[in-house]
C-alpha cells in the first residue's frame, strides 16, 4: 500500500482537509529525509518550544531563518575561502550548504533565533486566539434563563 487516496476523507468530513493533505504529503514522499544538520526539538514552557540545530563551522552571517506559509526554513551557504587551499588529513566537520524545513502548526510563531557555540537556537511560541481557547458555559435552567459565559480558561 504505497499510495493513499484521501478523496473519501474530503467527502465525509468538514474541516479535515489539512489533515488529509498532510497524510497525502507523507505517503507520497519517496525522498529520504535529510539528516544534516542534526537538531533537537524541546518544549521549554507550556506553549513554548525551541529548535536547536548543530551548525558547527557556520557563522551567523552564513545562516538564514525564514517563515513561509507555516513552514520554518533554515538555510546555510558555504563560505569556504578557496584562495587559501588547505589539505585535510581527516575532515569530520561538515560545512556543506543545507536547507532544513520544519512544518509549523497553526498559531505557532517564531519569537527569535540565536547563534552561539556552534548551535542555532530558534524559539517558538504557540498563541491560541481567544476564540479557540476552551470556555465553560453555564447550563440554562428550566425557568428560561439564558446561557452565559462563566469562565474562560487560559490555554
User: What is the maximum span of the chain, computed from C-alpha positions, in angstroms?
Assistant: 88
Compute φ and ψ for 11, nearest 5 degrees.
-75, -35
- Residue 6 pLDDT class (50, 70, 90 cuts): low
pLDDT attached to residue 9: 56
Q: Taking 60 as the threshold, does the pLDDT of residue 155 lie above it? A: no
Q: What is the mean pLDDT of the chain?
A: 78
Domains and CATH numbers, the chain: 1-31 (no CATH), 35-129 (2.60.40.790)
Share of the chain above pLDDT 70, in %: 66
**Taking the CB of residue 77, how many other CB atoms lie within 10 A of it?**
13
Q: Taking 70 as the threshold, does the pLDDT of residue 139 lie above it? A: yes
Q: In terms of pTM, does the model score above 0.85?
A: no
Amino acid at each position: 500500500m504505497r499510495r493513499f487516496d484521501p478523496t473519501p476523507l474530503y467527502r465525509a468530513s468538514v474541516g479535515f482537509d489539512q489533515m488529509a493533505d498532510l497524510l497525502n504529503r507523507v505517503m507520497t514522499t519517496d525522498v529520504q529525509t535529510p539528516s544534516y544538520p542534526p537538531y533537537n526539538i524541546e518544549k521549554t514552557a507550556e506553549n513554548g518550544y525551541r529548535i536547536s540545530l548543530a551548525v558547527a563551522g557556520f557563522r551567523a552571517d552564513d545562516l538564514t531563518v525564514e517563515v513561509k506559509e507555516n513552514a520554518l526554513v533554515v538555510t546555510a551557504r558555504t563560505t569556504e575561502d578557496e584562495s587559501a587551499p588547505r589539505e585535510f588529513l581527516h575532515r569530520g566537520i561538515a560545512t556543506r550548504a543545507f536547507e532544513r524545513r520544519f512544518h509549523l502548526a497553526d498559531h505557532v510563531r517564531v519569537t527569535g533565533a540565536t547563534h552561539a557555540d556552534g548551535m542555532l537556537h530558534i524559539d517558538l511560541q504557540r498563541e491560541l486566539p481567544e476564540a479557540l481557547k476552551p470556555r465553560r458555559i453555564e447550563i440554562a435552567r428550566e425557568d428560561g434563563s439564558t446561557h452565559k459565559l462563566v469562565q474562560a480558561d487560559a490555554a
